[in-house]
Amino acid sequence: MKLRLSTLIGLSLFAALSAYSAEPPKTKLATTTKSLGPIAREALTSGRPSVSPDSNHIAFLVRKGNKSFVVRDGVSSKEYSWIVPGSTLFSPDSKQLAFVTQSDAGMRVVREGVEGKAYYEIDGATLQFSPDSSILAYGASVAPEGAATRPAFVIAPTSIPSREWVMVSNDHESALFTHVYFPNFSPDSKRLSFAAVRGAAQFYVIDGRQTRSVDAVAQVGLTYSPDSRRVAYMVTHGDVSALAVDGVEGPPYKIVAPMSVTFSPDSKRVAYAAKNAVGTLIVADGKEGKTYDAVSYPTFSPDSKHLGYTVTTKKKLLYVMDGVEEREYEGDNVGHIHFSPDGKHYAFGMIKHGKSVVVVDGQEGKEYDMVSDSSIAFSPDSSRVAYTASRGSDTFVVIDRQESKPMDRISTSPVFSPDSKHVAFIARQGMKHVVIVDDAPSDAVDIFIAGSRLVFDSPTVLHTLGARELEAVRLECKITQ
């Protein structure tokens, strides 16, 4: 009997899962904390503090009397008449902090304590660092001719005079437009694109050059290839949409799903989901796939050789690899494909008779009341898989087909250690908020900071941010066995 590649893959991975689950690690945690200063109660309840990408720093806005300031790791910034709520932003390297201020003189971006040029208005939602943290971009408007300066207390005026906008990148200003939106940097930080409006015309600006006008621009903006050389974006003309890749528009569809657009890791291939008059389909490398009732977003394997997605047709679920229907499942809904780092294994979640199931290499796992499809994670060495699930009032992480101890709530997706030996997540049991590693709990905190994540600093050391008695703390856990 000849076995399919997917069957062989499934056998090899599940043999590995059985080996891991047969002898669970006996882990203990040593917990230490470092104070990051007092944190305002409002920042934990009604507001959301900004957390650096490395989860080592925290910043939040404080309003005291008629003044505003930002507190970063316990150190207060200069006071301003107004700081735009939600505008605090850490750079990708976690070393810089920026926010938007407002006064009688206008609005400014403050970057590492240095105040930028005053503008009539700054759109705080457009504040964006480049991936290498060297450039800060944002949309700003120049004061209309003869307009008075904008009062500091005016947050969202009901009537604003007509004015023109520029996209600012560090000290450089773009051409003038009626409005600018959605700045987007390429992965190498050398290219900047954004959506713009001039009069009734809408278009994208890529490297300072305008695309041809469209009827509407997508809020998700553009998608760059991993090597930064290629760019794809959705265009809409009347009732039809198309995907333009490197400036060349593809065939028209009723809908192109802009969030589905993906380049392969080697940047040579591109795929997306679209809807035609009959149903939905995947378009890969300019070629249309079969039409189905529904399709998931496409996913390339890490080696760029394979493209996987799941589809729904006539109440049946199908897993499709490279355009070939590999296997049929009974179910009502299905998530998107997750590939292992080595590209040899895959997993996805699905709804089956009202229950949630995770499929790994074609093998269905246990049924649960709910499974978080976005939590599905393979270990770095591709031999293990974990995800969060719930049954009744209990929530747990399923690791190599084995359930962790039940918790009242699990706040994060499972995270594997760099050596793939340990699995960590943040949970609440009763009033205790703890880090769990291989079922071993850390010391408790009152709450974990929203937006913080678990970061492994080494195979045996990890950290995150929490709070105890209104004091922000960096919680570090050292694994001992």
Q: Which pLDDT does position 430 carry in this prediction?
A: 84
Q: What is the pLDDT of residues 180-231, one digit of tens each?
A: 999 999 999 999 999 999 888 889 999 999 998 887 776 666 899 999 999 9
Q: Is the pLDDT of residue 272 over 90?
A: yes
Which of 256, 177, 175 lies closest to 223, judged by CA? 256
pTM of the full structure: 0.88
Q: 221-235, 321-335, 389-403, 447-461: lowest mean pLDDT where? A: 321-335
- Range list of β-strands (E), 86-208: 89-90, 97-103, 106-111, 114-115, 121-129, 136-141, 165-169, 172-173, 179-185, 192-198, 201-206
pLDDT band at 1 (very low <50, low <70, confident <90, very high): very low
Which of 35, 53, 44 lies closest to 446, judged by CA? 44
81/102 Cα distance (integer angstroms): 7
Name every residue whose Cβ is closer than 8 Å to that of residue 224 and which is 6 or more positions away in sequence: 184, 186, 187, 191, 230, 231, 263
Q: Yes or no: say if 174 and 181 are a contact pair by the CB < 8 Å rule.
A: no
331/318 Cα distance (integer angstroms): 9
Using DSSP, state whether 466 is helix, strand or coil.
strand
Which of 393, 392, 377 lies closest to 338, judged by CA? 377
Q: Which pLDDT does position 459 carry in this prediction?
A: 97
Which of 163, 257, 169 lies closest to 205, judged by CA? 169
Q: Which pLDDT does position 237 carry in this prediction?
A: 84
21: enclosing H helix or E strand:
helix 5-22
Highest mean pLDDT out of 91-100, 324-333, 354-363: 91-100
**Residue 114 falls in which region: left (phi positive, over 0), alpha (psi -120 to 50) or beta:** beta
Q: Which pLDDT does position 146 carry in this prediction?
A: 55
Burial of 288 (0-12, 13-18, 19+ CB in 10 A): middle
Q: Is the pLDDT of residue 293 over 60?
A: yes
Mean pLDDT of 285-309: 94
55/48 Cα distance (integer angstroms): 14
Mean pLDDT of 249-277: 95
Report helix, strand and coil shares of the chain as percent, to nearest 5: 5, 50, 45
Q: What is the mean pLDDT of the chain?
A: 88
Q: Yes or no: say if 195 and 221 are a contact pair by the CB < 8 Å rule.
A: yes
Backbone angles phi, psi at 182, to 5 degrees: 50, 60
Torsion of Cα atoms, 189 then 221 then 175 then 228, to 10°: 30
pLDDT band at 245 (very low <50, low <70, confident <90, very high): very high
Q: Which pLDDT does position 326 carry in this prediction?
A: 84
Tell me, rounded to whole angstroms, the distance of Cα 410 from its chain centroid: 18
Q: What is the pLDDT of residues 121-130, one digit of tens each?
A: 999 999 999 9
- Range list of β-strands (E), 21-135: 28-38, 50-51, 58-64, 67-72, 75-76, 82-83, 89-90, 97-103, 106-111, 114-115, 121-129
pLDDT band at 3 (very low <50, low <70, confident <90, very high): very low
